[in-house]
Structure 1
Amino acid sequence: MARVMARPGDIDSAVDRAAIGSAAGVLRSGGLVAFPTETVYGLGANAADGAAVARVFQAKGRPPSH
């Protein structure tokens, strides 16, 4: 599975189309994407892909029923 990682400050006002395209590809293939927010990193998945959503819970160590 491909890994895409951004650090806070990596993406400024200029849109990094290559990074966005890579992250979109990871999401389309059922992978997870970590992204910085103002305070912590977020973990994203394709919400329409039940297996990908289950991987978010697994990655966070949370039960699927959470």
Structure 2
Amino acid sequence: MNTTYNESLSAASGKESWKRGDTAKRVYDFETREQSVSQRDFAKNNNVPRSSLRYWVARKNNIDA
């Protein structure tokens, strides 16, 4: 069996990697949404784990620039 380290790592974690452009778009869409839509509902409607969305938003808010 010839499996590279990267292939075995992604198979073991089972986590999906998000591209920077996709995450930025989802954070932007979340921040410009109607205020009546909760973070939980937004994540569910956009097929994003709520924990990932919460992390992305928190990370953006902590940028020094």
* TM-score, normalising length: structure 1: 0.28
* TM-score, normalising length: structure 2: 0.28
Question: Of the two, which has the highest radius of gyration?
Answer: 2
